[in-house]
Amino acid sequence: MEQSTVTRKEFIRKSAWMLAGATFLPGMLFVEDAGLKKGGHAHKNKKYTLKNVRLETGFVYHDGDVIATKTELFMVDVDHGKIKNVRSNQADAQAIDARGMLMLPAFKDMHIHLDKTFYGDAWRAVERRTGGLKGMIALEQQILPGMLKDSAHKAEKLIGLLQSKGTAFARSHVNIEPTSKLDSLRHLQMALDNKKQVFGAELVAFPQHGVYYTDSAPYMKEAAQAGVDFIGGVDPFTVDGAIEKTMDFTVQLALDYNKGIDIHLHETGASGLKTVEYLINKVNENPVLKGKTYLSHCFVLGKLDQAKQQEMAEKLGAAQIGIVSTIPFAGLIMPIPTLLEHNVKVMTGNDSIVDHWNTFGSGSVLQKVNTAAQVYGKTTEFGLSRMLKLATAGPLPLDDKGVQQWPKAGDAADLVFLDASCSAEAISRISPVTSLIYQGNIVF
């Protein structure tokens, strides 16, 4: 953004805004070096107004089909981290100029491991694996002590990458096991505290090495009291050899400390399906867990026949259990459209980014949505626009009938600006992110 009706010096004098130091891109706000420090925080912006903000206002129809998206330019008032007002545009007003960029809800990465990454170091690809998941556990036991030495710094670098792709919030799984103990958690909490003005997060205590395969249970109980939001898990049958025992521990720990649940489930056979069904039953027995329980990956759903997929989607929707799906995964096609039809909350994330698990990872959830649109054949204006919910973890500018439902007064000022004419184009072309605002703070 830039101030178009006053000089730059006047603008700087009249505003106390500063940029966050993690990632600087050609964006909307230009300020001279007014005491900025490398790695500093954005100041809490109390009140300001944006002009020339492009917002979606409706659909264009032909013979009953959506063929385009209507947009108009508006002014948006931001006050103490909230949208105070959306009003008619005044191009000559003294306000921060959004230059006609498309404003969308800031993106959310809902499955990532900020606590362990090679990002920021020299390039290295994944090495040949042996021994399956337990072989990877053995590898982690060897390399985690070294990774922990600068894990806070690496996490901040990774957060900067996410911000540059329009993400202002993440759900991060964090290793809790006898090798790391609670050090990985503490390091990540330090990094997040350094970024608290410009990035939001919720944390999942993740027993990567099993609850009982390694003696992680005591550390999980400690982590539940140390600032996490969810209790995690991983493949209870493959790792611990007992679905019920591990799942009972996970569910009870969540109940005892009023946490959500988010479990990694890679198993695609009978044990995977049994785990899903067992979790559905436990949530139905404990309705307080509805709406706060998730299965990450849940690849078994992609292995079921269509009728069974419909049945499981219906049960997951009724239990309000969400699916966090990394897109894509090798040759597996997850039934995301079926899940959405049954009101299952589906979200996505980058998972591992350049680490010992995964070579890939652009940091862009918009790219994930683009891939999903291609996989599921969402090529129309309407179909593309509906896929945006995977990047925002819910909010869409227009409802299915084309009625504007975002932004409205009182909405959080978590905003991403893209060089695109509409959300369908943004998804199709993976349009460049030009600016990001988190809780009213201008990140870049």
Please tell me whether residues 371 and 402 are part of one structural domain: no
Q: How many domains does the chain divide into?
A: 2
Domain residues for the domain of 22 are: 2-105+398-442
Please tell me whether residues 100 and 112 are part of one structural domain: no
Nearest-angstrom CA–CA distance, 199 and 263: 24
Please tell me whether residues 227 and 346 are part of one structural domain: yes
Please tell me whether residues 151 and 193 are part of one structural domain: yes
Domain boundary among 348, 366, 390: 390
Q: Where are the beta strands (DSSP E) in 151-256?
A: 167-175, 200-206, 230-234
- Please report where in the chains the tokens 């990001």 appear, as a residue: 436
CB atoms within 10 A of CB 245: 13
Which pLDDT tens digits describe the chain residue by residue (444 residues)?
444 444 443 433 333 333 333 333 334 443 322 222 333 345 455 899 999 999 999 999 999 999 999 999 999 999 999 999 999 999 999 999 999 999 999 999 999 999 999 898 888 888 877 888 898 999 999 999 999 999 999 999 999 999 999 999 999 999 999 999 999 999 999 999 999 999 999 999 999 999 999 999 999 999 999 999 999 999 999 999 999 999 999 999 999 999 999 999 999 999 999 999 999 999 999 999 999 999 999 999 999 999 999 999 999 999 999 999 988 777 899 999 999 999 999 999 999 888 888 888 799 999 999 999 999 999 999 999 999 999 999 899 999 999 999 999 999 999 999 999 999 999 999 999 999 999 999 999
Could you say which DSSP state residue 299 is in? G
| Residue 344 exposure: Cα atoms within 13 Å on the Cβ side | 32
Look at residue 129 in the predicted model and tell me its pLDDT. Answer: 77
CA distances to 15, 194, 223, 383 from 166, rounded to whole Å, are 24, 19, 30, 21
Please tell me whether residues 343 and 313 are part of one structural domain: yes
Domain boundary among 372, 390, 408: 390
Question: Which residues make beta-bridge pairs with 74?
Answer: 53, 88
Look at residue 44 in the predicted model and tell me its pLDDT. Answer: 54
Question: Which residues make beta-bridge pairs with 206?
Answer: 175
Look at residue 22 in the predicted model and tell me its pLDDT. Answer: 33
Please tell me whether residues 89 and 146 are part of one structural domain: no
Please tell me whether residues 318 and 422 are part of one structural domain: no
Please tell me whether residues 419 and 352 are part of one structural domain: no
User: Who contacts 194 (Cβ-Cβ below 8 Å, separation ≥6)?
Assistant: 39, 41, 156
pTM of the model: 0.90
CB atoms within 10 A of CB 307: 8
Look at residue 125 in the predicted model and tell me its pLDDT. Answer: 86
Domain boundary among 369, 390, 411: 390
CA distances to 206, 295, 309, 323 from 288, rounded to whole Å, are 21, 17, 25, 18
CA 308 to chain centre: 29
Please tell me whether residues 235 and 379 are part of one structural domain: yes
Q: What is the CATH number of the domain that holds 118?
A: 3.20.20.140
Please tell me whether residues 79 and 116 are part of one structural domain: no
Q: What is the CATH number of the domain that holds 21?
A: 2.30.40.10
Nearest-angstrom CA–CA distance, 154 and 147: 9
Buried-state track 357-393, b at ≥16 Cβ within 10 A, e below 16: bbeebebbbbbbbbebbeebebeebbbbbbbbbbbbb
Please tell me whether residues 188 and 277 are part of one structural domain: yes
| Residue 406 exposure: Cα atoms within 13 Å on the Cβ side | 22
Look at residue 45 in the predicted model and tell me its pLDDT. Answer: 54
Nearest CA among 280, 277, 276, 286 for reference residue 254:
286
Whether the bond between 236 and the residue before it is cis, its omega within 30 degrees of 0, is no
Please tell me whether residues 158 and 134 are part of one structural domain: yes
Measured in residues, the chain has a length of 444
Q: Which two tokens stand for residue 107?
A: 């993106």
